Chains A and B, each alone.
Chain A
Amino acid sequence: MAAERMSIVCFSGTVDKLLAVSTLATGGAAMGLEVELFLTFWGLEAFRKGAYQTNDRISADFEDHKVPMMQAMQEKKVPNWLDTLRGAAEIGDVKVYACGMTMDLFGWKLDDLEDLVSDVIGVASFVERAKEGKITLFI
């Protein structure tokens, strides 16, 4: 039997949503699902090499919570979203793909992205794989 799959379209590049992506990916990996992330637009921008170190954006609707949220995360030593995702890839099957269209639009190459990103794929390949999955999320 094929493994169960969780597919996540990661569109957002704000820390709050990236933390949701990495936490859900960890849960999926821990519970034995194949986890596939498809990074597009701002979600892909967040995966440019080193970008996570200076990314302190949060969802605009909750901009007023930014300072207390960042302070709480620092005080309580919450691991950053990229380290959380790296942990998920260590314990389970996590694949991270970049959206070809976004790469073309911004003129990025695979080498410009964090090592976790293994390949550039098109939307059709992602959909083809996601349709076999148990869980599909757009974040």
Chain B
Amino acid sequence: MAVPEGISISKEIDARGSFCPGPLMELIRGVKSVQVGEVVSVLSSDPGSARDIPAWVQKAGHEFVGTFQEEGYTRFVVRKTR
């Protein structure tokens, strides 16, 4: 499934093959490294990410753009809002 048009990803992190909590850690570092308003995505093959990443995004107060299933992994897309 494709990321919607109009969403431009500033930084994409490939965390495939990394285990919980690796992909979440990579995402947190990625979000820290960009400016407010920018969009970060992380690719994960860890099944824990499906719940962990949205939970963190909500807690941290960013915007969860969505979960996009690819072949053998998932792309999680987040906009930094603060």
Chain A contact residues, CB within 8 Å of chain B: 23, 26-27, 30-32, 76-79, 84, 87, 90-91
Residues of B within 8 A of A30 (CB): 21, 24-25, 28, 56
A78 to B46 CA separation, bound complex (whole angstroms):
12
Residues of B within 8 A of A77 (CB): 17-18
Q: B55 contacts A31, CB within 8 Å? A: yes
A26 to B56 CA separation, bound complex (whole angstroms):
12
Interface magnitude class on chain B: 10 to 19
User: From DSSP, what is the main secondary structure of chain B's interface residues?
Assistant: helix
Residues of B within 8 A of A26 (CB): 21, 24-25
Chain B contact residues, CB within 8 Å of chain A: 17-22, 24-25, 28-29, 32, 52, 55-56, 59-60
Residues of B within 8 A of A79 (CB): 22
With A30-B28, A32-B59, A32-B60 already in contact, the answer to whether A23 and B21 are too (CB < 8 A) is: yes
Count of A-B contacts judged by CB separation below 8 Å:
30
Q: B21 contacts A27, CB within 8 Å? A: yes
Residue of B nearest to A26 (CB): B21
Nearest Cβ on chain B to A38's Cβ, whole angstroms: 21
Nearest Cβ on chain B to A46's Cβ, whole angstroms: 20
A89 to B24 CA separation, bound complex (whole angstroms):
14
Residue of A nearest to B25 (CB): A87
With A31-B56, A32-B60 already in contact, the answer to whether A23 and B29 are too (CB < 8 A) is: no
Nearest Cβ on chain B to A71's Cβ, whole angstroms: 15
Residue of A nearest to B19 (CB): A78
Q: Other CB < 8 Å A-B pairs besides A30-B28, A77-B17, 16 of them?
A: A23-B20, A23-B21, A26-B24, A26-B25, A27-B21, A27-B52, A30-B21, A30-B24, A30-B56, A32-B59, A76-B17, A77-B18, A78-B19, A87-B25, A91-B29, A91-B32
Residues of B within 8 A of A91 (CB): 25, 28-29, 32
Residues of B within 8 A of A23 (CB): 20-21
